[in-house]
Chain A
Amino acid sequence: MNRLRPLFITIALLFFTGWIGFVAYSYLQLGRLAPQSDSDGSLPPFQSGSAIRGAKVYAAEGCMTCHSQQVRQTSVTRSDIDRNWGKRPSVARDYLREQVAFLGASRIGPDLSNVGVRATDSAWYYRHLYEPATEVPGSTMPAYRYLFKMQKIQGQPSEEAVALRGPHAPREGYEVVPTEEAKDLVAYLLSRKQDYSLPEVPPVPEK
């Protein structure tokens, strides 16, 4: 092979087969999926401003390195459904309202696609983020104490104060309150619900 141009063209054409198949197809087809109209409105549901800001905190803290957000079901495994991580497998349209799809490829922590269905109490999320091991014994999750601030109680205790019991509980006369970032993050986590049905994915029968 002595000529550069034919070699370059061959490389480009072979490279572009995969590019067209995976990138261009995704952009043209998956990128143009429409929301499903429903009697209750459009699905997947819209997200609050706080949840959208919370997704940025989720990205910045790299939660995705340990937590996936995809319920998987294949012909050989249905353990995600059996673990109650979701009622049905996730599909592309579930991510239509997101800025970034945090699909994740590692599960050092549980899947979070439906964490908003499993835990609905925001106080639990605050306690868990502040001191994971006291809420889930044996958890290896790092503590996110820097998303909270400790302050001296002035007069009445704050309504937002986190009720803590563990070794990091505040001293007498002090309280721990979540920052805006923590509130947004919890709003985002509470919005993790794929509990509606879409036509392309039938509900999975109980075992």
Chain B
Amino acid sequence: MSHEPSLSQTQAATNFSEPAPLHATTRAEIDSSLRFPVLLFFRTALFWLLLGSILCAITSFKLVMPCFLDGICFLSYGRLLPVALDALLYGWAVPAGLGISLWLVARLCGVPLRCSKMLIAAAIFWNTGVFLGSLGVLCGYGSSIPWLEYPNWASVPLFIAFLLMGIWVVMLFTARQPRSIYITQWYLLLGLCAFSWLYTTANSFLTWGSVEASAQGPIVAWYSANIFGLFLIPLALGIIYYLIPKITGAPIYSYYLAVLGFFSLLFLTGWSGMTLFLGGPIPAWMVSASVVATVLMIIPVIAVILNFAKMLQGQMGVIKESPALRFVAFGILSYLVAMVMSLIYALPTWNGILHFTNYSHGIMLLTLLGTVSMVFFAGIYYIAPRLLGFSWLCACSVRWHFWFAVIGLSLMTVSAILGGLIEGLALDDAAVTFVNVLSFAAPWHWLNLIAWMLLLLSYVSFVRLFGRMLFHATHPDQKLSACSFNSLASVS
């Protein structure tokens, strides 16, 4: 196991209460107690990532070639797309984020894991829920409520799973050894609390059907904005605040910026989201409030990114060498791009053109697969070697994983921006017939398909690498690949 640059070496530069470095035996104890549950979360997450992106690739092929796999009920576009997106969100992003968070919370609280059976049960319940939900939608029991398409009975195992994890995290927080709370813990606490509130609210109001349809629009928009903005993004930011100081040894640049970034993000994200229905059947004041909040989101974004940029300044060498930091750097970049894109989308003048096109879908995919997933990959790159006790086996797979993802996401974003603009201009001109609007959008759907193919290659190379790591852990006498090299080993 490599050295552990201490967070508190940097204490002189900030007045952040950073945790003292743990004793090596405590670290080893924490890691060995977490090995099975955290790896279980990662394993299932990668399965859903692969399945979700295969289904996404099929749906984008169906957009350019509607006769592909046509006329089969459980493979129709309207059923496959929600299953694919929900697999990426609930199957991949949530368990991967939770797996990383559990490890970070245990490390930062300095307590070895108790009741690991609870976490294993949580993982099983969660994946059962995702599986049953996907099956339900494919068999025609979907609800068509955005991000809550699973039939309502599938939300029960998901809820039990989250309850188990929540209890576990609260136990850990109250048992924490260093009494101080590091900024990463703030973000993780926010993410975990927000998810339970979001999921409970959305399910009791929407899936279990107690609210009139006239009131559903704002609640749907609120949930689908905040499940990203107040759950996945905070987890990702918390992970970045942990990884950069650990890998580079650089201190947190500014305590004040970190605090400003945290609270303004929390407040403003809660008020954004209604721009999804700008001009639609919801009260105009809600839309206005959200436009203001989304524009003001530039404040937390600048605060957070300035902090990160200052910490990464002059660290180009480390970014190139460290697989984790490279993914973090791209995650930060795509966070900036996605937030600027959603700011433009919120301005009524632009929204008039960009609404209902591929643009908003593009923002969502860039947030989910660019910002959130890339940072989660970084977390897995950092954590898995520590759990398994040896470093990543193959540098080529890491490069493929990174560069295919970067090119794929860039193409997808270009397609969302240019394609969305062209499609939107055509849609806004009533003289263009609707079928003609489709022909304007068609070339960009092809570009999207290419982007999905590249992303699929990227994810396959990562899953293959991860599988080899697991295989090597159980068969340590097998010969190692020739392309593992030292610079990777030294940082991971």
Cβ–Cβ contact B181 & A70, under 8 A: no
- Enumerate B339-361 residues with CB–CB distance to A below 8 Å: 348-349, 351-353, 355-358, 360-361
Residues in A with CB closer than 8 Å to B333 are none
Q: Given the interface contacts A1-B181, A110-B434, does A62 sit within 8 Å of B352 by beta carbon?
A: no
Stretch at the interface among B42-50, B138-146, B483-491: B138-146
Q: Is A119 an interface residue (CB 8 A)?
A: no
Residues in B with CB closer than 8 Å to A102 are 144
Cβ–Cβ contact A137 & B435, under 8 A: yes
For the complex formed, measure the closest distance between the CB of B83 and the CB atoms of chain A, giving whole angstroms: 9
Q: Complex formed: what's the CA distance from A70 to B17 in Å? A: 51
Contact with B along A38-82 (1 / 0, CB 8 A): 000000000000000000001111111110101011111101001
- Enumerate A14-49 residues with CB–CB distance to B below 8 Å: 14-15, 17-19, 21-23, 25-27, 29-33
Q: Complex formed: what's the CA distance from A2 to B176 in Å? A: 11
For the complex formed, measure the closest distance between the CB of B444 and the CB atoms of chain A, giving whole angstroms: 12
Q: Which of B181, B194, B286, B438 has the most CB of A within 10 A?
A: B438
Cβ–Cβ contact B180 & A2, under 8 A: yes
Contact with A along B268-309 (1 / 0, CB 8 A): 011101101111111100100100000000000000000000
Q: Complex formed: what's the CA distance from A62 to B138 in Å? A: 10
Residues in B with CB closer than 8 Å to A58 are 144
Known: A14-B267, A93-B214. 16 other contacts (CB 8 A): A4-B181, A15-B194, A21-B271, A25-B218, A26-B215, A30-B212, A33-B214, A62-B77, A62-B81, A65-B77, A66-B78, A70-B281, A90-B281, A96-B213, A106-B358, A138-B438
Q: Complex formed: what's the CA distance from A1 to B456 in Å? A: 43
For the complex formed, measure the closest distance between the CB of A197 and the CB atoms of chain B, giving whole angstroms: 15
Q: Is A107 an interface residue (CB 8 A)?
A: yes
* Residues of chain A at the chain B interface (Cβ within 8 Å): 1-4, 7-8, 10-12, 14-15, 17-19, 21-23, 25-27, 29-33, 58-66, 68, 70, 72-77, 79, 82-83, 89-103, 105-110, 132-133, 136-146
Contact with A along B189-233 (1 / 0, CB 8 A): 110011001000100010001011111111111100010001000
Q: Is B82 an interface residue (CB 8 A)?
A: yes
Q: Complex formed: what's the CA distance from A49 to B316 in Å? A: 65
Contact of A138 among B77, B194, B283, B439 (CB under 8 A): B439
Q: B67 — nearest CB in chain A belongs to which residue?
A: A143
Cβ–Cβ contact A100 & B219, under 8 A: no
- Enumerate B134-164 residues with CB–CB distance to A below 8 Å: 137, 140-146, 149
- Enumerate B228-282 residues with CB–CB distance to A below 8 Å: 230, 263, 266-267, 269-271, 273-274, 276-282
Contact of A77 among B180, B214, B215, B428 (CB under 8 A): B428
Q: Which of A8, A26, A96 has the most CB of B within 10 A?
A: A26
Q: A102 — nearest CB in chain B belongs to which residue?
A: B144
- Can you give 17 A-B contacts (C-beta < 8 A)? A2-B181, A14-B263, A23-B218, A27-B215, A30-B214, A59-B143, A61-B140, A63-B144, A70-B281, A76-B352, A90-B281, A91-B281, A95-B216, A136-B435, A138-B439, A139-B66, A142-B70
Cβ–Cβ contact B214 & A62, under 8 A: no
Residues in A with CB closer than 8 Å to B407 are none
For the complex formed, measure the closest distance between the CB of A59 and the CB atoms of chain B, giving whole angstroms: 4
Q: Given the interface contacts A2-B181, A7-B189, A79-B429, does A61 sit within 8 Å of B66 by beta carbon?
A: no
Contact of A76 among B144, B201, B349 (CB under 8 A): B349
Cβ–Cβ contact B213 & A95, under 8 A: yes
For the complex formed, measure the closest distance between the CB of B432 and the CB atoms of chain A, giving whole angstroms: 9
Residues in A with CB closer than 8 Å to B266 are 11, 14-15
Q: Given the interface contacts A22-B218, A60-B141, A136-B435, does A2 sit within 8 Å of B179 by beta carbon?
A: yes
Which 9 A/B pairs are nearest by Cβ-Cβ distance? A62-B78, A18-B270, A82-B430, A77-B352, A30-B215, A74-B279, A98-B213, A31-B215, A59-B144
Q: Given the interface contacts A7-B189, A74-B348, A92-B217, does A100 sit within 8 Å of B66 by beta carbon?
A: no
Q: Given the interface contacts A76-B349, A77-B352, A94-B281, does A59 sit within 8 Å of B267 by beta carbon?
A: no
Cβ–Cβ contact B173 & A4, under 8 A: yes
Cβ–Cβ contact A61 & B79, under 8 A: yes
Contact of B219 among A23, A62, A94 (CB under 8 A): A23
Q: Given the interface contacts A11-B190, A26-B215, A61-B79, does A103 sit within 8 Å of B280 by beta carbon?
A: yes
Cβ–Cβ contact A63 & B78, under 8 A: yes
Contact of B213 among A64, A101, A138, A141 (CB under 8 A): A101
Cβ–Cβ contact B201 & A1, under 8 A: no
Contact of B142 among A62, A95, A101 (CB under 8 A): A62
Q: Given the interface contacts A18-B271, A31-B211, A82-B430, does A100 sit within 8 Å of B348 by beta carbon?
A: no
Residues in A with CB closer than 8 Å to B351 are 74
Contact of B270 among A15, A62, A83, A139 (CB under 8 A): A15
Cβ–Cβ contact A146 & B201, under 8 A: no
Q: Complex formed: what's the CA distance from A66 to B445 in Å? A: 14
Q: Is B76 an interface residue (CB 8 A)?
A: yes
Contact with A along B347-391 (1 / 0, CB 8 A): 011011101111011000000000000000000000000000000
Q: Given the interface contacts A92-B281, A146-B71, does A22 sit within 8 Å of B214 by beta carbon?
A: no
Residues in B with CB closer than 8 Å to A91 are 281
Q: Is B471 an interface residue (CB 8 A)?
A: no
Q: Is B62 an interface residue (CB 8 A)?
A: yes
Q: Is B186 an interface residue (CB 8 A)?
A: yes
Q: Complex formed: what's the CA distance from A110 to B197 in Å? A: 35
Q: Complex formed: what's the CA distance from A8 to B280 in Å? A: 35
